[in-house]
Structures are given as structure tokens and as C-alpha cells.
Amino acid sequence: MIRFIKRLHRSLKRFRHLRAGRGRLREVRPAVEAVCGGPVRFKSGVGGGHDYVYFVEREGRRVAILRITNPDYVPEGTPPEARLNGPRFKLTPRERVAREWRICEAGWSRGLTPKPLWRSDRQDALLNSYVDGGRLFDWVQQGRISLWDAIDRTADAAKAFHAVIGEAHMDLSLFNVYADAGLAHLTLIDFELAPNPALSPAEARLFDFLNLVEMAFKDMSPADRQIAPQRLERLLSASVPDDVRSAPVTRLAPKLPRILSDPAFHAVLSRHLTV
């Protein structure tokens, strides 16, 4: 029942977002059609983010993803102290577009991110290439891959992302990773949050790995919980670099309530990290 209510809430929020973004759709359509090579159709996107996200279709085929920023979420001029959210920092519309463009520009040729195609002169809209496949979380729900194997695969992708991009994702979860139908290739998406400026680079990278487990915690089956100590132990040993494991968890804790309060998870984390 609770999950149903949350899904309904996300659907209503997404509907309000898409309705609010229609005016900007008319404005950006000419530029989007120029990039895509002709007339396009816009279809509502997925997810529960704060911006307006649309699939862009050309001749019946999805070719791009359009993000139009919501100016009412963290308006330009919002003071930094009002934008702090534990280890994460909320960005203004222009900052969100700039960060996503920068990250995608650095990562697309390595297959880590979508390819950036266009951004508006006002810096409030961004067009990325469409990524075939589906969210890794959905593949888990369909039984195509186990939850812990999906976490391991994403952690390895995060390690490559950190090495190439030079910064942390800050909203890493199985919802923000796309996998192709063969589960051979992962693409990271959604870069609208930044690290709290007080964090060291190692702390920010550590947050990616821990947030990945934190966000999967609530969807773990009894079997997933039973093997959690061994799998978490393996994840920390095999996927998290030594310099990242040495970073303190203290400033990350506000966004990690589930794994830090669960005795089994906490015991493993304490053996590897400064908890």
C-alpha cells in the first residue's frame, strides 16, 4: 500500500511537472528539431526528479532525452547555506545544466554517460542522446539480474566514472543506471546534485558506493538481506579503492540512515571504514 501511494505521488508530481513545462517545449522545439534532423514528438519521461524530462521521438523512434529545468526548484540566487542537504548540494537551474553537460561531455565517448547534443542559450534546457535499454532496477525486478550482482556491476561502473570524470555522481542508485537488453553495458544518468563543498574528493566518492547500497536497502528481499554481510564485505574489498575507504563517514551519515542503523550492515562497514 505504501509503495502504491509513493508511485501515485510520483505520477502526480510528474504530471504536474510535464504540464508546467509545455510552454518551454514550444520554445525549444525548433532547436531540438534542427539537432534531430526534422519534426519530433515529445513523450513524457520517467522518474520523479524536479525538472521536466521528455523522450524525443523522430519517425516513431526515440532519439534523445530533453531536460528542461524547473525554475521554482532552487531558484537562481538561492544562498549556498539554503542549498546544503547533508553531503549533497542542490544546484540552481543553470548549474544543473552546466554540470550535466560537463559530465556527459567527458563521459560519453567512453560509454559512461549519454552524449550531450544541445543546450539552450538560456542554459535551462539540455538534450542528450537516447540510451537504449532500461533502468538496472527494472531488470532486477524482472529477474534478469540479482540485486547484489546489479550493485556490484554499478560499483564497477562508478569506479570507472570516478577515474574518467574526476568527480562523484552524488545520486548513484540502480534507478540512475541504464543497462542494455543484454546487460553488457551500463550508462550512468542524472547528475543534478553536486557534492557538499565541505567534502573531500574521497568522501564524495565514498558516498557514491554507500548511497548505492542505501538506496537498494529497502528493496532487498529476505534472501538479499541474508547474504548482505558477505556481499557487502566483497563490495568494499573489491570495488572501493583504498584511498576512498580511508575517508570518514561522519559527514555522509545523514543520507545513510538505513545501512548505518542496521546491525549487520554496520558491523561490516565498521571493519572497512571509519564509521
DSSP string, 93-138: HHHHHHHHHHHHHHHGGGTSSPPEEEE-TTS-EEEEE---SEEHHH
Report the pLDDT value the prediction gives residue 50, as an integer from 0 to 100: 83
CA 186 vs. chain centroid, Å, equals: 12
Q: Give the pLDDT score at 111.
A: 97
Rounded to whole angstroms, the Cα distance separating 32 from 146 reads: 38
How high is the pLDDT of residue 45?
Answer: 81
Domain boundaries, given as residue ranges, for the chain: 2-129, 134-272
Question: Which among 34, 41, 44 has a CA at the least distance from the CA of 57?
Answer: 41
- Tell me what pLDDT residue 44 has: 86
User: What is the full per-residue pLDDT of the chain (275 aa) written as tens digits?
Assistant: 666 676 666 666 666 666 666 788 999 999 999 999 999 999 988 765 688 999 999 999 999 999 999 999 999 999 999 999 999 999 999 999 999 999 999 999 999 999 999 999 999 999 999 999 999 999 999 999 999 999 999 999 999 999 999 999 999 999 999 999 999 999 999 999 999 999 999 999 999 999 999 999 999 999 999 999 999 999 999 999 999 999 999 999 999 999 999 999 999 999 999 98
Question: ∠ at Cα 268 (263, 271), nearest 5°?
Answer: 125
